[in-house]
Chain A
C-alpha cells in the first residue's frame, strides 16, 4: 500500500427534503450525511462503521452516484495539484472565479459528472450489496448477470464475452456449470460470489462493500471475507467496507472510520483503534463486541437513549446527549475532526482528558 489518495471526499452532504402540507412545502431536511471529509488511499480497505441509520450506506451510495450529493466534492483519482487549486478557489475565491470553479468542478468532481464521463466513472467504481437474493435479478441467467456491466460498456461480445464471464466466475470460485442457471438455484454464499463476479467485470479500481457478509451464515462469511481479501491482493483493489459488524472490520480492514448521525467521529488505523479508541462513541461500540468468555470482566458501556432524529440533530457535538463525558462546551460547540498524529483523527473536545 502506498500513500496515494484514490478517493477524496470533501465536505460531503446528503440531505433528504421532508415535504408536508397540501402544497408539498419544504419543511426540513433529514441530514443523512452532514459535512463528511474522508480520504481513501489507493489499495487500502477502509471500514465504515456505525449504528443503523447513521448514514454510512448513504455515504457509500453517494460516492457511487447512486444518490446525488446535496453538497460537497468527491474526487476520484484526480491529481492533487488540481484538487488543491479548486479547493483554494472554493474557500477564498470571489465572484469573478465562478466560471473557473464550475469548469474545474465539471472536470474533477464526480458529483458533477454526466454523460460519457459518468459512464466511464461507473466502469471504475463498483458495488457489492448486502443481500444477494435482492441484488441479482431473478429472471436473468448468471452469465447475463455477470456479463451485464461488460455489455453496458460495450467492451466485449459473443465468444469473448462468454470467456470473460467464465473467467470471472472462476475468479470467485464458481465454474462453467453455473453459467446457465438462475440465481434461485444457488445458496446465499454462492449468490454473493456471483454478485462479486459482477462487480469485478469491468476491472474496477474501487469497490463499495455494502455489508457484503451480514446476510450470510457465519461459516460462509469467513469464506467470502477470505475471497475478498485475496481479490484485493491480486487485483489491486480499494475497498470501502460498510458494516456494523466490528469483528469483520477488524479482520479485513486497514483503517476504520466511525460515523455517528451523519458525521465522522473518528478515523484511525484498525490496530490502534481497537487498542485505544479515542472517541467515547468508539469506546462504547468496541465495548459492545461480545467476548466469547463467560468469565470476562470487561466493563460494558451502555449507551442510554436512542439515536437522535437526524432531521433535528443535537446542537454542538451530535453525541453529547448520550455521552457520559459531555460538558458544557460539547453542547454548544461542534468539535472539528482534528488530526492527532500517527494517522488518527478524532472529533471530540475532551479526547485527551478521557484517555
Chain B
C-alpha cells in the first residue's frame, strides 16, 4: 500500500510525544490495578484473612497431625464423655460432645470449606459462561430454551430439592456440592447473559464481525473480557456464601456424618450445647462460638475481597 502524502494528513495532530516504551502496557495496567487494590485497607484485611485460611488449609497436616493418615478428615476423639470440655493444653479450643477436638476440626475444616466453595463456584461459573454466552450472543431460539430452563430451576424451592437430592444421593459433602451446583448455575447463566447483552451491540463487536472474526473468537476476545468482571466479583463473594449455605444444610442434618471435619457439621453437632445448664448459661460458649466465628470470618474475607475487586475493576472508578 502506498502511503498517503503526509503533509496533508499528519500535519495537525501531534505524533511527537515520543516516550520510551519501557514496559509492556499490559504490565502497566496490572501494576495500576495492584496499586489501586493496595490503597484500600479493607481489601488488605480481606486478602489477609483469605491468605491465612489458605495457609491453614495447605499446612493442615503440620498444624494438626491426623491420627489416621488415610482418613484425615475424621476428627480424633478422647473417649465418649457426652458433655464438651473447655479449652485446655491438650485441646486448645476445647472439645465437642464425645470429646471431638475442636481445634482439629477447625484446621481440617478449612480444607473442606475451600473444597466446597471452589468446586461449587468454579463449576457454576463454567456452566454459566458457556450457557450464558450462547444465550446472550446468539439470542433467538437458544436464548429462549436456555432461559426457560433457568426459569424452571428458579421455581424449585431450594430446601425441598436439597433435602430430596441428599436423600437420593446419600448424606455427605459431595451431595451438598452437587445440590448447590444443580441449583446454582441458573443464577450465573442469567447474570452472564445479561452482561453479554449489553456488550453484544457495541460497535467493536460489529467491527470484529465485519472483519471476519469467528464467533468463538469474538466471544473470547471481545465479549468476555468486557463483561466477565462483574460475574467474577459476584463469584468471589459467593465462595463465602456457598460455605455459609453448606453450613446451613449441615446444620439441618443434610451434611457430612458426625465427626467429619467440616465447620457446618461441627455447628450442627453443638446444637444441644448452645445454652448451658441453668446456673451457667454460657458454660459451653466455645462449642458454638469457635466454629461459628470461623465461618463468619471466612465469609467476611471473601466479601471484602469481592468488594475490593469491584472497586478496582469498575471502569467508572478506574479512570477519571
Question: Which residues of A from 44 to 86 have beta carbons under 8 Å from B?
Answer: 61, 64, 66
From the candidates B5, B17, B315, name the one contacting A230 in the complex (CB within 8 A).
B5
Cα distance, A38 to B164, chains bound together (Å): 66
Check: B39 CB closer than 8 A to any chain A CB.
Answer: no
Check: A104 CB closer than 8 A to any chain B CB.
Answer: no
Chain B residues lying within 8 Å of A230, measured Cβ to Cβ, are: 4-5, 8-9
From the candidates A170, A177, A231, name the one contacting B19 in the complex (CB within 8 A).
A177
Chain B residues lying within 8 Å of A136, measured Cβ to Cβ, are: 204
Chain A residues lying within 8 Å of B18, measured Cβ to Cβ, are: 177
Complex contact A131–B21 (CB within 8 A): no
Cα distance, A191 to B193, chains bound together (Å): 29
From the candidates A129, A141, A148, A184, name the one contacting B319 in the complex (CB within 8 A).
A184
Instruction: Map CB proximity to A onto B174-217 as digits: 1 under 8 Å, 0 otherwise.
Output: 00000000000000000000000000001110111111111001
Complex contact A122–B319 (CB within 8 A): no
Cα distance, A175 to B13, chains bound together (Å): 11
From known contacts A173-B6, A180-B25, A230-B8, infer whether A140 and B221 are also in contact, taking CB-CB under 8 Å.
Answer: yes
Check: A127 CB closer than 8 A to any chain B CB.
Answer: yes
Minimum CB–CB distance from A212 to chain B (whole Å) comes to 12
**The stretch of A196-204, A242-250, A303-311, A346-354 that contacts the partner chain:** A196-204
Check: A172 CB closer than 8 A to any chain B CB.
Answer: yes
Q: How many A-B residue pairs have CB under 8 A?
A: 118
Check: A2 CB closer than 8 A to any chain B CB.
Answer: no
Minimum CB–CB distance from A206 to chain B (whole Å) comes to 11
Complex contact A127–B24 (CB within 8 A): no
Check: A235 CB closer than 8 A to any chain B CB.
Answer: yes
Check: B1 CB closer than 8 A to any chain A CB.
Answer: yes
Check: B10 CB closer than 8 A to any chain A CB.
Answer: yes
From the candidates A137, A180, A181, name the one contacting B226 in the complex (CB within 8 A).
A137
Complex contact A125–B210 (CB within 8 A): yes
Complex contact A174–B8 (CB within 8 A): no
Minimum CB–CB distance from A176 to chain B (whole Å) comes to 9
From the candidates B10, B206, B209, B211, name the one contacting A173 in the complex (CB within 8 A).
B10
From known contacts A66-B206, A135-B207, A184-B319, infer whether A122 and B225 are also in contact, taking CB-CB under 8 Å.
Answer: no
Check: B280 CB closer than 8 A to any chain A CB.
Answer: no
Check: A123 CB closer than 8 A to any chain B CB.
Answer: yes
Cα distance, A342 to B54, chains bound together (Å): 81
Chain B residues lying within 8 Å of A226, measured Cβ to Cβ, are: 8-9
Chain B residues lying within 8 Å of A138, measured Cβ to Cβ, are: 226, 315
Complex contact B13–A223 (CB within 8 A): yes
Cα distance, A89 to B214, chains bound together (Å): 35
Minimum CB–CB distance from B207 to chain A (whole Å) comes to 5
Minimum CB–CB distance from B158 to chain A (whole Å) comes to 29
Task: Name the residue in A152, A203, A235 with the highest tally of chain B Cβ atoms < 10 Å from its Cβ.
Answer: A152
Minimum CB–CB distance from B10 to chain A (whole Å) comes to 4
Complex contact B207–A227 (CB within 8 A): no
Question: Which residues of B from 201 to 244 have beta carbons under 8 Å from A?
Answer: 202-204, 206-214, 217, 221-222, 225-226
From known contacts A134-B204, A139-B225, A200-B1, infer whether A127 and B210 are also in contact, taking CB-CB under 8 Å.
Answer: yes
Instruction: Map CB proximity to B onto A180-194 as digits: 1 under 8 Å, 0 otherwise.
Output: 111010000110010
Minimum CB–CB distance from B198 to chain A (whole Å) comes to 12
The range of chain A's interface size is: 35 or more
From the candidates A64, A127, A175, name the one contacting B15 in the complex (CB within 8 A).
A175
Task: Name the residue in B204, B225, B315 with the highest tally of chain A Cβ atoms < 10 Å from its Cβ.
Answer: B204
Chain A residues lying within 8 Å of B8, measured Cβ to Cβ, are: 226-227, 230
Q: Chain A residue with minimal CB distance to B10?
A: A173
Complex contact A141–B210 (CB within 8 A): no
Chain A residues lying within 8 Å of B15, measured Cβ to Cβ, are: 173-175, 177-178
Check: B168 CB closer than 8 A to any chain A CB.
Answer: no
Check: B30 CB closer than 8 A to any chain A CB.
Answer: no
Complex contact B9–A172 (CB within 8 A): yes
Check: B2 CB closer than 8 A to any chain A CB.
Answer: yes
Complex contact A135–B204 (CB within 8 A): yes
From known contacts A127-B207, A177-B19, infer whether A234 and B4 are also in contact, taking CB-CB under 8 Å.
Answer: yes
Check: A321 CB closer than 8 A to any chain B CB.
Answer: no
Query: Top 3 nearest A-B pairs by Cβ distance?
Result: A149-B211, A135-B203, A173-B10
Chain B residues lying within 8 Å of A171, measured Cβ to Cβ, are: 1, 3-4
Minimum CB–CB distance from A113 to chain B (whole Å) comes to 12
Complex contact B3–A170 (CB within 8 A): yes
Complex contact B225–A180 (CB within 8 A): no
Complex contact B3–A126 (CB within 8 A): no
Instruction: Map CB proximity to B onto A141-157 as digits: 1 under 8 Å, 0 otherwise.
Output: 10000001100110000
Chain A residues lying within 8 Å of B17, measured Cβ to Cβ, are: 177
Task: Name the residue in B21, B209, B212 with the highest tally of chain A Cβ atoms < 10 Å from its Cβ.
Answer: B212
Check: A167 CB closer than 8 A to any chain B CB.
Answer: yes
Q: Chain B residue with minimal CB distance to A123?
A: B212
